């Protein structure tokens, strides 16, 4: 079964897409059911959504489901963004090539298995052809292998094979090449459980994250399972980046507010237009209209953009905006806490990020009388 969630929230205007597959209810010839992969995939999907990933999900998918989901995921990958694939279920290598089993994969023979399961090479090719800056593959596969004694040729081997990671890619395996991972006795597989334990760590580079996962898995399995990664990442990646965590609830057009379209039928947009005028005689009365009663009816994205423009106007010398920042507690009295937070988020964001949602080369505190975003 495929589920699609185009999650609109993106951190620091970075676009993140994920394909998450969990297969446990294996019904194909010569396959065995697993306990945890669907739960593993669901738990990982929840964390990824929390960190701004749009999701394409497959739970107990047949081969046709997996192929269709991969095609949908390919369409969702954005240039310059992040593309991630997570798979939990049976996986095996045949003649050095890795295959991810669908629930209806025919494991009665090597050829049957090859043509009824998803090739990892195909997944890697989709990512490599994309224009994503960061590509991540996480495989909690190669679980206890029921196939090796049933096949007579020597081409089928325990576990998954080592693979080459194209530039900008990290591939993480639940266990070392040629070894078999454990399904786990609790609600999650050993590997996914360790990943869930550490993925929320703030400002943890992905390479460091997987080292922590490796140590946790080794400790839980008394060294029987050693995780493994191959990486050719060119830049840093963090799931939980504290520099961007406070803006993960806002739309792309709010983070990159050059894309924000004003609608004069909305009172909040009328105020924003006034603040954008660069004319003190227009800016000051416009901001005077922002009272708590009105603010409590404005959605968070519009308040975020309002906060950005209040800071811009104050930076340009509009006295009403300067007073709003100086007397922020009094000016926001009567506003709901989430509305106050949205305004403040916008002000803070404007200090560090430009109208394209990009980090400024120099923070925006260039007006005399401003220090760290506060009037002195």
Structurally, how many domains does the chain consist of? 2
Q: Are residues 277 and 335 in the same domain?
A: yes
The pTM of the full predicted model, rounded to 2 decimals, is 0.68
Question: Is residue 237 domain-resident?
Answer: no
Q: Tens digits of per-residue pLDDT, 339-348?
A: 999 999 999 9
Query: Is 243 among the domain residues?
Result: no
Which domain-ending residue is among 165, 196, 231? 231
How far apart CA 359 and CA 318 sit, in angstroms, is 24
pLDDT of residue 230: 92
CA distance 2 to 61: 7
- The pLDDT, as a whole number, for residue 371 is 44
Strand segments, DSSP code E, in 63-220 are 82-88, 91-94, 97-101, 117-119, 134-140, 156-157, 169-173
Q: pLDDT averaged over the chain?
A: 86
Q: Which residue has the tokens 């999900």?
A: 57
| Whether residues 258 and 165 fall in one domain | no
Q: Are residues 38 and 109 located together in one domain of the fold?
A: yes
Residue 94 has pLDDT above 50, yes or no: yes
pLDDT (average), residues 222-249: 80
Per residue in 130-144, pLDDT (tens digit) is: 989 899 999 998 755
Q: Does residue 85 lie within any of the structural domains?
A: yes
For residue 180, pLDDT over 90 is answered with: no
| pLDDT confidence band for 369 (50 / 70 / 90) | very low
Q: Do residues 112 and 172 both lie within one domain?
A: yes
Burial class of 258 by CB neighbour count within 10 A (0 to 12, 13 to 18, 19+): exposed
pLDDT at 275 over 90: yes
* Segment 314-358, tens digit of pLDDT: 999 999 999 999 999 999 999 999 999 999 999 999 998 888 887
Flag whether 326 is in a domain.
Answer: yes
pLDDT average, residue stretch 9-13: 44
Per-residue pLDDT at 242: 66
**105 located within any domain:** yes
**How far apart, in whole angstroms, are the C-alpha atoms of residue 307 and residue 272?**
9
User: What six digits make up the tokens of 352?
Assistant: 């560090």
Residue 290: pLDDT above 80? yes
> What is the pLDDT, as a whole number, of residue 258?
85
| 46-60, 164-178, 216-230: range with lowest mean pLDDT | 164-178
Q: 67 with 137, same domain?
A: yes
Q: Is the pLDDT at 246 greater than 70, yes or no? A: no
Nearest partner of 92 among 68, 110, 73, judged by Cα: 110
- Residue 122's domain is classified under what CATH number? 3.40.50.1460
The residue-averaged pLDDT of 110-119 equals 93
Is the model's pLDDT at 360 over the cut of 90? no
Domain contains 239: no
Pairing of strands 53-59, 374-375: unpaired
In a domain, 180, yes or no: yes
pLDDT band at 6 (very low <50, low <70, confident <90, very high): very low
329: domain range? 252-375
Band (pLDDT 50/70/90 cuts) for residue 121 is: very high
Confidence of residue 166 (pLDDT cuts 50, 70, 90): confident
In a domain, 303, yes or no: yes
Q: Supply the pLDDT for residue 160.
A: 66
Comparison of pLDDT for 14 and 207, the residue scoring more = 207
pLDDT interval class at 79 (50, 70, 90): confident
pLDDT band at 2 (very low <50, low <70, confident <90, very high): low
Please indicate whether residue 247 or residue 306 has the higher confidence score (pLDDT): 306
């Amino acid at each position: 079964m495929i589920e699609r969630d185009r999650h609109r929230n993106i951190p620091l205007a970075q676009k993140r897409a994920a394909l998450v597959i969990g297969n446990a209810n294996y019904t194909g010839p010569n396959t065995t059911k697993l306990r945890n992969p669907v739960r593993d995939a669901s738990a990982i999907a929840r964390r990824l959504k929390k960190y701004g990933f749009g999701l394409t999900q497959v739970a107990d998918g047949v081969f046709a489901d997996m192929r269709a989901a991969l095609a949908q995921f390919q369409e969702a990958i954005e240039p310059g963004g992040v593309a991630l694939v997570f798979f939990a279920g049976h996986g095996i290598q045949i003649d050095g090539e890795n295959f991810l089993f669908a629930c209806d994969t025919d494991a009665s023979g090597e050829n049957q298995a090859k043509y009824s399961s998803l090739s990892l090479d195909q997944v890697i090719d989709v990512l490599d052809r994309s224009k994503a800056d960061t590509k991540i593959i996480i495989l909690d596969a190669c679980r206890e292998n029921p196939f090796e004694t049933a096949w007579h040729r020597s081409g089928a081997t325990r576990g998954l094979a080592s693979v080459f990671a194209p530039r900008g890619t990290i591939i993480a395996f639940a266990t070392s090449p040629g070894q078999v991972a454990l399904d786990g006795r609790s609600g999650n597989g050993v590997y996914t459980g360790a990943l869930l334990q550490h993925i929320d760590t703030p400002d943890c580079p992905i390479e460091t994250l997987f080292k922590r996962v490796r140590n946790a898995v080794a400790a839980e399995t008394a060294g029987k399972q050693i995780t493994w990664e191959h990486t050719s990442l060119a830049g840093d990646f963090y799931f939980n980046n504290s520099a961007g965590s406070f803006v993960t609830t806002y739309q792309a057009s709010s983070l990159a507010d050059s894309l924000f379209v004003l609608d004069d039928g909305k009172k909040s947009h009328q105020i924003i237009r006034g603040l954008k005028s660069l004319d003190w005689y227009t800016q000051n009365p416009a901001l005077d209209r922002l009272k708590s009663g009105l603010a409590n009816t404005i959605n968070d994205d519009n308040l975020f953009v309002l906060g950005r423009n209040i800071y811009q106007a104050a930076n340009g010398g509009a006295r009403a905006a300067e007073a709003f920042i100086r007397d922020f507690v009094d000016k926001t009295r009567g506003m709901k806490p989430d509305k106050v937070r949205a305004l403040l988020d916008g002000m803070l964001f404007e200090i560090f990020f430009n109208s394209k949602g990009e980090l400024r080369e120099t923070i925006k505190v260039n007006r005399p009388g401003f220090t760290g975003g506060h009037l002195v």
